[in-house]
Amino acid sequence: MSRMRHAGVPARNMLMPRSVVGVMGGSKATPKVMASARRLGFLIASRGWVLLNGGRDSGVMAASAEGAQEAGGLVIGVLPGATTTRAAPGVSVAIVTGLGDGRNAINVMSSDVVVACRGSLGTLSEIVLALKHKKRVILLDCDVGKDFDAYRKRGQLTWAATPEDAVEQVALVLSETRGD
């Protein structure tokens, strides 16, 4: 890319957009899943990546946003409703959609890689959408059963034992796809 210079204006380096890591998971979660999501958010932000989630003030969304905020990170929350009243306190940028569960497509398509924590049907729909659109999905304390073995065999779907393992896998995916 060439850099343009205007009279008296120094050339600036062209910046690449920051990597976006989608963290998906249930709005209801056990203390163990919440702690894992919080740690995951912290580690993602510590790497300088943007954390994107469903933005609500409950479950994996709130916990991952809190962890990322604690590390000084940027959190984008894609909300299902038309207001920010249910946004998690750790969300830096709240995007209201008015789409309900339809916002899951925005979550997935806006993420460079998806980490799925334990959840329910909404999380499963995000996993399926991500796989359908050839996104890499890393499962953290989330079991999707044998129906997804074909995606595991081709390396599009992997399992992480810990938040640290998930972040290492994210780093590998981003280095392969974005050069991060």
**Lowest pLDDT segment from 10-14, 121-125, 129-133:** 10-14
- Residue 163 lies inside a defined structural domain of this protein: yes
- Residue 44 lies inside a defined structural domain of this protein: yes
8 A C-beta contact, residue 114 and residue 22: yes
| 146 compared with 130, residue with greater pLDDT | 130
- Residue 5 lies inside a defined structural domain of this protein: no
Q: Cα–Cα distances in Å, from 73 out to 21, 64, 78, 79, 118?
A: 12, 11, 16, 19, 23
With a cut of 60, say whether residue 1 has pLDDT above it. no
Helix (H) or strand (E) holding 126: helix 121-132
Residue 132: give the domain boundaries.
20-177
- Domain at 71, CATH number: 3.40.50.450
Domain count, the chain: 1
- Residue 10 lies inside a defined structural domain of this protein: no
Q: Which residue from 14, 45, 23 is spatially nearest to 118, judged by alpha carbons?
A: 23
- Residue 6 lies inside a defined structural domain of this protein: no
pTM of the model: 0.89
Task: Provide mean pLDDT across the span 145-155.
Answer: 92
Q: Which residue from 43, 51, 58 is spatially nearest to 21, judged by alpha carbons?
A: 51
- Residue 88 lies inside a defined structural domain of this protein: yes
DSSP string, 63-118: HHHHHHHHTT--EEEEESSSSSTTB-TT-SEEEE-S-GGGHHHHHHHT-SEEEEES
31-52 tens-digit pLDDT:
999 999 999 999 999 999 999 9
Separation of CA 155 from chain center? 19
Tokens of 174: 């981003």
State the pLDDT at residue 83.
Answer: 97
Q: First and final CA of the chain: distance in angstroms?
A: 18
Cross-strand partners of 52: 22, 76
pLDDT band at 8 (very low <50, low <70, confident <90, very high): low
With a cut of 90, say whether residue 13 has pLDDT above it. no
With a cut of 60, say whether residue 4 has pLDDT above it. no
- Residue 130 lies inside a defined structural domain of this protein: yes
